[in-house]
Amino acid sequence: MFLRRKFLQTSAAGLASLFFNKKSFAAANTALPGYKSHPIIISTWDFGKVANAEAWKVINAGGNVLDAVEAGVKVPEADPKNHTVGLGGFPDRDGKVTLDACIMDGNLNCGSVAFLENIVHPISVARLVMEKTPHIMLVGEGALQFALANGFKKENLLTPASEKAWKEWLKTAKYEPVINIENQHYKKDGSQQLPGGPFNHDTIGMLAIDASGKMGGACTTSGAAWKMRGRVGDSPIIGAGLYVDGEAGAATSSGLGEEVIRTCGSHAVVELMRQGIKPLTACKKVVERIVKRNAAKAQTLQVGFLALNTKGEYGAFAIQKDFTYSVKSAAEEKVYEAESWFK
């Protein structure tokens, strides 16, 4: 009896200190069953590693999951050397940089902007759409007006390097956005080289669970290089480029957006996880659907999915090889290459 009472007192004190002290909860939660992988941040591509590190600072300090993913994806958005996200993104075929982004939490709160020009951080505008408007998605001129009304500044996003690459592309103006050529447009040190091929398009999609188990995700891109003016890809579309449901899991994508929109790709991955399917298999099943419905041209397509379930288990799968993703938790900080349909 004494022992039992003593045990209960000790556990209650232990639990109270865990729940009332966010920092110690974050530090100690690796020992709690079911929470062993929280907090965790995963994101698409090698450049996700530095973005994860920024998000980790927020989450590790006990911060909010949406603050973390927003801070994380702002890193590639602000990086002029990243030609597929934000500032310095490759323009459309008319030489204009147009950005797409969305953000979502595990309670299905979400916000999105598409075809937004001259704003370095579309993800922050998407967050404000979620928090300050009764809507989910603002596009083009309206999204810009909203951003300016909320204190964002207009900036020229077309850097000299991106303009040079666009002028190079104009010489042939061949538009065939069918596949990423990751291995050609990355140098060995992980930086991107110019222009690498006519189909450069890599989005950052980031998924996270904070110390308390809350899920969130963010996705931001300049979309397919040299796209038609007005083209919007999967990345800002809730359910296509990103989906988060705290009861089932979260998923994001990179690759040819048209195929992801057609299959409501990220939503499809999350619905499979809701049935108890592991993240890797869920991603694989949706990739398989895309491959089978495109039997004649699957060899020329690239789509990759990245997923995280509510336990903090993650997985990724792509049509082609060379789809990488970055993981950050207390236990690891790594870049992995996803399994792929074609080897």
Residues that bind ligand ASP (CB under 6 A): 180, 201-203, 221, 223-224, 233-235, 254-257
Closer CB to ligand ASP, residue 37 or residue 203? 203
312 with 329: CB under 8 angstroms? Answer: yes
Provide the minimum distance between the beta carbon of 320 and ligand ASP in the complex, in angstroms, as a whole number: 12
Left if phi > 0, otherwise alpha if psi is -120 to 50, otherwise beta: which for 67?
A: alpha
Phi first, then psi, for residue 216 (nearest 5°) are -160, 160
Buried b (16+ CB within 10 A) or exposed e, 156-195: ebbbebbbebbeebeeeeeeebebbebeebbeeeeebeeb
Structure tokens at 292: 């089978």
Closer CB to ligand ASP, residue 72 or residue 233? 233
Closer CB to ligand ASP, residue 60 or residue 266? 266
Provide the minimum distance between the beta carbon of 28 and ligand ASP in the complex, in angstroms, as a whole number: 37
Provide the minimum distance between the beta carbon of 233 and ligand ASP in the complex, in angstroms, as a whole number: 2
Closer CB to ligand ASP, residue 211 or residue 244? 244
Provide the minimum distance between the beta carbon of 84 and ligand ASP in the complex, in angstroms, as a whole number: 7
Kindly list the catalytic residues: 203
Provide the minimum distance between the beta carbon of 260 and ligand ASP in the complex, in angstroms, as a whole number: 6
Provide the minimum distance between the beta carbon of 239 and ligand ASP in the complex, in angstroms, as a whole number: 14
Provide the minimum distance between the beta carbon of 276 and ligand ASP in the complex, in angstroms, as a whole number: 28
Closer CB to ligand ASP, residue 71 or residue 306? 306
Closer CB to ligand ASP, residue 127 or residue 201? 201
Closer CB to ligand ASP, residue 26 or residue 104? 104
Q: How many whole angstroms separate alpha carbon 13 and alpha carbon 261? A: 49
